[in-house]
Amino acid sequence: MEIYNKNEQKTAGHTMGNFNHETGVYQVVMPYNDHRGGGGNHSHEVPVFARTCGCGKWQNLKIPCSHGIKVLQGRHLDATSYIDPCYNLNNAIHTYSHHFVVPSSESLWRDIRGPQWVPDPQLLRAKGRPMKSRLRNEMDGVQ
Ligand SMILES: [Zn+2]
């Protein structure tokens, strides 16, 4: 819900661009945003029936992204009902409803029957930082 609320706040700056009501594909345009290092000033395509967005967040998180919310609100739909049911409380409780098996104490573990692994002393690294083979130049700040 926190993600959803943040996304909903972001919709304020978005505007709807071209759209096709029949296919349900909408374009959401983000304004130029100087506060975020020149982010924005781009658009995402939102195939709303597929519950996906060009930004990739809707399909990954199964929560409508800011672009998706903008489109759903534009269509007078309740965007919260597009949050995947996997996030509802009953499903969250169900995830942890099974019994947990507590691992037995390490002293009760059985010995492993198998090959013994011995480290190769030739491959041991020397103490300290490994030697650098890169040549330093003026770009490293060396005068
Ligand atoms: Zn999006």
CA angle 130, 131, 135 (to 5 degrees): 140
Q: Is the dihedral of CA 16, 20, 58, 60 positive or negative?
A: negative
Sequence ranges of the domains in the chain = 2-89
Distance between Cα 57 and ligand 1 center (Å): 6
Q: Which residue has the higher pLDDT, 52 or 132?
A: 52
Strand order in the sheet with 25-33: 15-20, 25-33, 39-47
- pLDDT mean across residues, the chain: 86
C-alpha of residue 86 to centroid of ligand 1, in Å: 20
Q: What proportion of the chain, given as a percentage, has pLDDT over 90?
A: 34
Average pLDDT for 102-116: 86
Helices 2-10 and 66-74 pack at an angle, to 10 degrees, of 70
- Cα 39 to averaged position of ligand 1 atoms, centre (Å): 14
> What is the per-residue pLDDT for 127?
82
Q: How far is the CA of 75 from the centre of ligand 1 (A)?
A: 16
Backbone torsions φ then ψ of 45, nearest 5 degrees: -90, 135
Q: Which of 34, 53, 35 lies closest to 44 in space, CA to CA?
A: 53
Q: What's the pLDDT band for 67 if we cut at 50, 70, 90?
A: very high
**Looking at residue 37, what is its pLDDT?**
54
Between 25 and 134, the more confident residue is 25
Length of the chain: 143
pLDDT cut 70: percent of the chain above it:
92
Q: 20: CA distance to ligand 1 center in Å? A: 17
Q: How far is the CA of 80 from the centre of ligand 1 (A)?
A: 15
- The two beta strands, 15-20 and 25-33, are antiparallel
The tens digit of pLDDT for each residue in 124-135 reads 887 888 777 888
**Residue partners of 94: CB distance under 8 A and separation at least 6:** none
Q: How confident is the model at residue 141 (pLDDT cuts 50, 70, 90)?
A: confident
pLDDT of residue 73: 92
